[in-house]
Structure 1
């Protein structure tokens, strides 16, 4: 079990840092920030405070900063998004443009439930990984950039440039607030556990699926992972948010590939609302209730597969499919959310 620190005492006030303050934050990039191998105190640029501080980010809309929280939604943070420009954009943000400069927008809140609202200076780090679940800290994450930030009482909005975004342009994003006066409770090998137990960490796995009505399938990547040092069995659970995919005459097929498909066969082909189409393809006949069970992952293993979305008719109704990996974790929980991806599905008119 991870070691936990004694809770601190906090209150909540919200303001907005914009204009000149945001421009100042934009001027600090990974190229000019202090080196990562410097001592934590010098990297954060702040000394020890006698007043409790708690800078935090939301894991979900109703999050209050308690750590750990019991909400299973740990990978849809409203405080992280990608915008194609440095100007703030509406939630859920933009799909990143491959090969171009994009911007990660992060909201830092002060105070959370364990602080007093005193100013704290620390670092905000942002990372990307392949879309999916079961990501290991820190081997599965690639750093985008970081900057030293003073966070006053309220909400400080930070913008970090992201250059040369790699293809195909689908990612999970992670933000970590690092501060000597507001430390992590712990960090273990699992991103899911770290996020739930540290309000300094926020995780965002939200992607947009643009489907052409009557056209070919839109293929989206997904990676299952096991960050632990022992093999274990996992499940993939499908749910829908908003209008069902069938409202657009939609169809969802998972191409598991030879390895993951063989694991499913070896596990007895256990599932619900799925149909084996052959050639490693599994149709998700009801994305609101479907699941694939008994999927064994070896220690530290990652397996990639694809999700193929098609639709027959244009619809403007909000539709989303969530694909969540469940399995054991290092805290002893035998069936817990190990992460997932929320796919916003948009069906457009046929291209001429």
Structure 2
């Protein structure tokens, strides 16, 4: 080979080696980066908007605060002006649901952008998500640091006007950690889900009973046995209070077939039992089929006027989807008061 040919060959090798080195450096740099720039930006933009489950909730997930179903950040009012305390919705007119979004929680910062959705179901426990829930409304929200109150109109409220509510904050930068058929698990593991089951019961002394619906359900794929407990914060006897549970034919027969397990109760009719020890009463061994949810009625009455409200909690306990054998599957806090209408 001539000296000119050798010089051309050496020059080509230098060019090839330089190109190979450049390629290797590019590959090495790409491998060194933990993820693309767009993903790094998304990671640093993590936001954390939360809704309180209970007054002491600071957004930690999961948590063990109970009961999960009395969120102070969800309120129902009869007008578009926020009321002092939540009220039962009025059937046939537009009501308004107010939800407080708190920013930031412990897992992010910055302005949160997303959609707030509110849902309803029959009061009680064991409501399977999303099967037993109906959407009330939704609103796109920019949640700046601090507390943002969102107002969602509630039109077409069906009778009898007593519901459980959940609020869900949906945001790409603030995703759910886990979400399955169990509302208690969803609410405790996601600080952007909150639940409120509070019902006001105003009684007219000496008049007939006021009726409230209550439902118990099974979110499992196998049959389950459940318990319903009844607990008053203070004795109802001061107002001559009476609470009767009407299980209805089907649920009463299941209770009877399960051994009529219970305490603090006495039968008063073909399908009814009266709560005679409202601080420690329960009905147990109630069998439910997979995915089933059955309704019964609570009948409240009183003989005397009261000075304030008496909290009366009704709660369903049973096996949950996380393997817990006796979990709080949901309940309702009835705030009982009396007075002349």
Q: TM-score, normalised by structure 2?
A: 0.86
List gaps (5 residues or longer) in structure 1. Answer: 1-46
Alignment partner, residue 171 of structure 1: 163
Per the alignment, residue 100 of structure 2 pairs with 107
Of 248, 264, 267, 2:255 maps to: 264
Shift of 1:317: 2.6
2:64 aligned with 1:70, yes or no? yes
Alignment of 1:86-97 (within 5 A): 86-91=80-85, 93-97=86-90
Q: State the distance in 2 between where 1:123 and 1:346 align.
A: 36
Q: Counterpart in 2 of 1:140?
A: 132
Selected match of 2:146 from 151, 154, 158: 154
- Give 1:49 deviation, angstroms: 5.7
Structure 2 CA distance, aligned partners of 1:348 and 1:297? 38
CA contact (8 A) 1:48 1:180 kept: no
Distance 1:289 1:162 in 2: 37
**1:332 Cα shift?**
0.7
Instruction: State how 1:287-302 maps to structure 2 within 5 Å.
Output: 287-302=278-293
Name the CA distance, whole Å, in 2 between partners of 1:318 and 1:276.
27
- Render the CA deviation track for 1:24-45: whole Å, top value 9, x for unaligned: xxxxxxxxxxxxxxxxxxxxxx
1:196 is displaced (CA, Å) by 1.1
Query: How far did 1:105 drift?
Result: 0.1
Among 79, 86, 101, the residue aligned to 1:85 = 79
More moved, 167-176 vs 258-267: 258-267
Q: CA deviation at 1:245?
A: 1.5
Cα displacement string for residues 135-190 of structure 1 (whole angstroms, at most 9, x for unaligned residues): 11001110011111001111000000011211110000110000011100111011
Alignment check: 8 A CA contact 2:54 2:66 kept: no
Query: Number of matched residues?
Result: 301
Confirm or deny: 8 A CA contact 1:172 1:205 kept in the other structure: yes
Cα deviation, 1:206-262, whole Å, max 9, x if unaligned, reads 001111100001011101111211101000011112x32211000100000111111
Secondary structure class of the residue paired with 2:91: coil
Q: CA RMSD in A?
A: 1.2
Cα contact 1:130–1:222 (8 A) shared by 2? yes
Determine the structure 1 residue equivalent to 2:36. Answer: none
Q: Is the 8 A contact 1:124 1:178 kept in 2?
A: yes
By how many angstroms is 1:191 displaced? Answer: 1.1
Question: Match for residue 338 of structure 1?
Answer: 329
Indicate the structure (1 or 2) with the bigger Cα radius of gyration.
2
Equivalent positions of 1:1-352 (< 5 A) are 48=42, 50-91=44-85, 93-116=86-109, 118-241=110-233, 243-349=234-340
| Distance in 2 (alpha carbons) for counterparts of 1:326 and 1:168 | 25
2:3 is matched with which residue?
none
Q: Distance in 1 between matches of 2:223 and 2:294?
A: 13
Unaligned runs of 5+ in 2: 1-40
Instruction: Please give the alpha-carbon distance, in whole angstroms, between the structure 2 residues aligned to 1:283 and 1:302.
Output: 22
User: Is the contact made by 2:219 and 2:321 (CA closer than 8 Å) also made in structure 1?
Assistant: no
